[in-house]
């Protein structure tokens, strides 16, 4: 079967750095996405990785290792508004997105 694993919840301090991990087992691989979802709102796109390595976009970076079936999202200089769920999704061989259950990130002052 297909499986995406992420930690259920993480807590971090304002101004700090946090790394959210995602491991996957899917039928084929055509890219990995990270989305942010604030409570009661729709998911919004953060990043896309299809090749191994690090993609940096401002305070957010995303890393991919296809051989390990592993990705992480790195958030720097945490702000209170970063409190949200972070969703990892893999596009499989049918070009459909398989979603993890999400990681709820709690930021404390």
Partner 1 sequence: IAGITQAPTSQILAAGRRMTLRCTQDMRHNAMYWYRQDLGLGLRLIHYSNTAGTTGKGEVPDGYSVSRANTDDFPLTLASAVPSQTSVYFCASSASAGAGNEQFFGPGTRLTVL
User: Which of the stretches 11-19, 52-60, 62-70, 85-93 binds partner 1 when contact is defined by CB under 8 A?
Assistant: 85-93
Q: Does 51 bind partner 1 (CB under 8 A)?
A: no
Taking residue 3's Cβ as centre, other Cβ atoms within 10 Å add up to 12
Q: Determine whether 11 is exposed, middle or buried from the number of CB atoms within 10 Å of its CB (0-12, 13-18, 19+).
A: exposed
Give the whole-angstrom CA distance, residue 107 versus residue 69.
28
Give the residue, chosen from 12, 22, 98, 107, that forms a contact with partner 1 under the rule CB under 8 A: 98
Give the footprint of partner 1 on this chain (CB under 8 A): 4, 30-31, 33, 41-45, 48, 50, 87, 89, 91, 95-102
């Amino acid at each position: 079967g297909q499986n995406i694993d992420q930690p259920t919840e993480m807590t971090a301090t304002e101004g700090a750095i946090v790394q959210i991990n995602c491991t996957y087992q899917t039928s084929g691989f055509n890219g990995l996405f990270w989305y942010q979802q604030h409570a009661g709102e729709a998911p919004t796109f953060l990043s896309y990785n299809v090749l191994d390595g690090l993609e940096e976009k401002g305070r957010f970076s995303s890393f991919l290792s296809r051989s390990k079936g592993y990705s992480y999202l790195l958030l720097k200089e945490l702000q209170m508004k970063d409190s949200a769920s972070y969703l990892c999704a893999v596009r499989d061989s049918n070009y459909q997105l398989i979603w993890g259950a999400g990681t709820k990130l709690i930021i404390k002052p």
